Amino acid sequence: MKVREFMRKDLSSVETDTPISEVIYIMEHTELSSLPVVDDKARLAGVISERDLIRAALPSYFDMLQSTSVLPNIDQLAKALERMADHPASSYMTEAPVTVHPEDEDLQVAELFIRKRLKQIPVVDAAGHLVGIVRRIDLLDRLSQRGVRRT
C-alpha cells in the first residue's frame, strides 16, 4: 500500500513567518499537536510541535518531568510564551523534518514511525510541496482493515 492511499490530504499548516501566538491558536483549533511549516512557495520548511514550544519556553521542563519532586512554575511558562508570541514559527520549528513521498510504501513509513518515535509525518511531492500528512493512527487503521479482510 502506497502513502497516497492512506495519507490525509489535509494541508493545515503555518508559514515560516507565522507568529507563535497564531501557531498556538491554530493548534488549539485544529486539535493537532504538531503542524507543518511551509515557505512562501508552499514547500515544506519544517515542523513545529507543542513540544518544541514548551521546550523553548521552559528549557528545563522536560528534565524536570523526569523528577517528581520538582514541579515547573507555570507563571514562568506563561511569561516565556508571552515573550515568544510575536516570534516567527521558523525560530522554533524543527528544520529538515522526516518526510515521506506519496509513492512510498507503508512498510517504509511504519519503520520511520517506530525508529523515529513519530506520531505524524508530512508528505511532500518531488518539488518539496506539502501534499498531505500520514498519522500513525491512519496506518494502524489501514493495516487493521487489511487484517480484517484477510480473516
Partner 1 sequence: MILTVTPDPALDKTYWVDRLVPPAADHEEVPVLRARRSMREAGGKGINVAMFLARMGMDAVAMGFLAGHTGRMILRYVLEEGVTANFVWVAGENRTTVTVLQRGQEFAPLVIHEAGPQVPSGSTARFLKKYDQAAARAEYVVLGGRLPPGLAVDFYRDLAHTAKARGAKVVLHTGGAPLWKGMEAGPFLVKPDIRDPESLTALPAGTEDDILQAGRRAMELGVDMMLVSHHVTGDVLITPDSIWDLDARIQLSEFRNLMGADDALVGGILYRLAEGDELEAAVRFGMAAAVASSEAEEKLCRCREDIEREMARIEIHRRPLT
DSSP three-state, residue 50: helix
Amino acid at 45: A
Residue 131 as a binder of partner 1 (CB under 8 A): the answer is: yes
Residue 79 as a binder of partner 1 (CB under 8 A): the answer is: no
Beta bridge partners of 47: 36, 94
Residue 6's H or E segment, with its range, is helix 3-6
> In angstroms, what is the C-alpha Rg of the chain?
17
Residue 133's H or E segment, with its range, is strand 130-135
DSSP three-state, residue 34: strand
Size of the site for partner 1 (CB under 8 A): 18
Cell of 26: 491554530
- Least Cβ distance, residue 20 to partner 1 (angstroms): 14
Interface residue with partner 1 among 49, 122, 132, 139 (CB under 8 A) is 132
CB nearer to partner 1: pick between 40 and 95:
40
CB nearer to partner 1: pick between 39 and 64:
39
Beta bridge partners of 56: none
CB nearer to partner 1: pick between 97 and 132:
132
Residues in 8-47 at the binding interface with partner 1, rule: CB under 8 A: 8-12, 15, 18, 22, 25-26, 29-31, 40-42
Cell of 126: 518531488
Residue 145 as a binder of partner 1 (CB under 8 A): the answer is: no
Positions that interact with partner 1 (CB under 8 A): 8-12, 15, 18, 22, 25-26, 29-31, 40-42, 131-132
